Structure 1
Amino acid sequence: MTIRVLLADDQALLRATFRILIDSCDDMEVVAEATGGAEAVALARVHRPDLVLMDIRMPGTDGLAATTAICADPELSGTRVLILTPSEIDAHVAQALQAGASGFLGKDVTADALLDGIRTVAAGDSLLSPLATRVLITRFLSAPAQGAPPRASEDLGALTAREREVTAWVAEGHSNEEIGERLFVSPLTVRTHVHRAMTKLGARDRAQLVVIAYQSGLAQASRPAQR
């Protein structure tokens, strides 16, 4: 199946570069280009892409506002947003994750990392580096967003003890392989626990599971002990 990508960036040269890279792959294609956030939202509603590669800093309607609009639109529930940012340690990136973005990449990303990132997010997984999870998310998502109440810890009551433990490890930035080593189970078993936790908590992907873990206090209050 071909991954349909919408590019949203105000820099024409960067868009052209990304288009060449993406269209060179047999499993993906660029279906449209937007020069700003408002245009990105409009084109997303027309083309229903699998993924929007979104620059977070654009004049006018920025990538954060566009991400919020796309992720809040029930007609675009199948569209994922992958953020491009100059820095991983950026409060706007945390806000984008809260809004529903599935991950982000630095603008200095290599060609292979960009293409792998698109495939990862399009497959329904999130793209959060350990640095982003441990530093950025701890710094910004541990405090509720202005005007938004924290998620009640009671929401976690549907999780089993193992699902809570795995979710806490996910919030620390660990991969399925790393979690499996700590819990002496296979990465496939960890993946199953992660997906069950996502389903029970209404998280659209792994990135949103991390957001919920911090908003609910699970990542701090129930951090697993080292094994």
Structure 2
Amino acid sequence: MTQVRADESAPIRVLIVDDDALVRAGLTLMLKGAPDLHIVGAVADGGEVEGAVAEHRPDVVLMDLRMNGLDGIEATRRLRAGAGARTPEVVVLTTFDADELVFRALRAGASGFLLKDTPPEGIVDAVRKVGAGEPILSPSVTRKLIAHLVPEEESRRRTDARQVLARLSEREREVALAVGQGKPNAVIAGELHMSVGTVKGYISRILTKAGLDNRVQLALVVHDAEPG
């Protein structure tokens, strides 16, 4: 399960992971310009991520997918395998918006992805959203990624996803479906006549019941469960 920020008014702590020194420097310079973001470190290999997370306790990790050492997928998976109260959100960085590696990273527990050519303001906004617990993956992109599944795997995932949703209460399913539609907490709260805090509580319970790490994985489950 992803971490809960103890103080939401504090700057969002960011760790950068990329094997290209120029990319690391560029991202650091870009994000340092935002007063509500704080760069706590930058490493060049996925194998360094666990140690850097333990040392710097970031809220968000910007993770390159393709690295000469340990890749971003395996680094994300290892973070989730050792998940605790301080597991950060992971945003993968890629050059392709429908790459199979992106899909695998989302399945491994990433909270979304960014193209490396995203404008600076877009990257800053994405880090803010993820740091606040919101996904940065639209339903259309989710469907695009799911379309890359082979039919047999898609059928199996659909069965598994429907079983997950069947274990939820009616109200929990309403919240889950709203998450699957890409709606932020404030919109869900308004439509379902709840407080934002109540919505967050429902999402936390749903993730626990479903054995999921974050709301992007929940959105994938919702889309998996839809008729083909």
SS of the equivalent of 2:62 reads strand
Select which of 50, 63, 66 maps to 2:59. 50
Q: Is the 8 A contact 2:11 2:36 kept in 1?
A: yes
TM-score (norm. length: structure 1): 0.78
SS of the equivalent of 2:40 reads strand
In the TM superposition, what are the counterparts of 1:140-159 in structure 2 within 5 Å?
140=149, 144=153, 151=160, 153-159=162-168
CA–CA separation in structure 2 for the residues paired with 1:139 and 1:168: 22
Displacement of 1:196: 5.2
Look up the match of 1:224. none
CA–CA separation in structure 1 for the residues paired with 2:14 and 2:89: 10
Q: How many pairs align?
A: 215
SS of the equivalent of 2:114 reads strand
Residue 227 of structure 2 corresponds to residue 220 of structure 1: yes
Look up the match of 1:41. 50
SS of the equivalent of 2:93 reads strand
In the TM superposition, what are the counterparts of 1:13-28 in structure 2 within 5 Å?
13-28=22-37
Q: Is the 8 A contact 2:158 2:226 kept in 1?
A: no
CA–CA separation in structure 2 for the residues paired with 1:198 and 1:40: 24
In the TM superposition, what are the counterparts of 1:1-150 in structure 2 within 5 Å?
1-75=10-84, 77-140=86-149, 144=153
Q: Is the 8 A contact 1:55 1:83 kept in 2?
A: yes
Displacement of 1:54: 0.4
Q: 1:143 to 1:21 in 2, by over 3 A?
A: farther
| Percent of residue pairs identical | 35
Q: 1:205 to 1:142 in 2, by over 3 A?
A: farther
SS of the equivalent of 1:30 reads strand
Q: Is the 8 A contact 1:125 1:205 kept in 2?
A: no
Q: Is the 8 A contact 2:182 2:219 kept in 1?
A: no
Q: 1:18 to 1:186 in 2, by over 3 A?
A: farther
SS of the equivalent of 1:74 reads coil
Displacement of 1:51: 1.1
Displacement of 1:103: 0.6
Select which of 148, 171, 183 maps to 1:175. 183
